[in-house]
Amino acid sequence: MDERRRHGRNRTYLGGTLTFNHGQQTLPCHVRNLGTAGARLDFSGSVPLPDEIDLVIPRRGERHRVRIVWRRADCLGVAFLPRAANLIDFGEARRART
């Protein structure tokens, strides 16, 4: 398979959470590779997800707004959106913490 990424990625096995629908729904995931521009995420089952979601990686204290680039039944390839797109409103952040 040809490598189409502009930025390299490192293998990881970090726990993460996908948050969507204004923080009302979450889905646990594993971050299988991670780079400066995106990540590959594995999860259990097939769940319909919107094109843009939030990725939380608690162990690293990171939260990213991401766009889904490709999908398979139990994994996703995501691209990190620019910092300005990562901003969420205060109420949404508070709901995500509880």
pLDDT the model gives residue 25: 92
pLDDT by residue for the chain (98 residues), tens digit each? 444 545 566 899 999 999 999 889 999 999 999 999 999 999 988 778 999 999 999 999 999 999 999 998 889 999 999 976 555 555 566 666 65
pLDDT the model gives residue 15: 96
Partners of 57 in the β-ladder: 62
Q: Hey, what domains does the chain have and what are their CATH numbers?
A: 9-97 (2.40.10.220)
Q: Are 58 and 91 in contact, with CB atoms under 8 Å apart? A: no
How much is the pTM? 0.75
pLDDT the model gives residue 95: 65
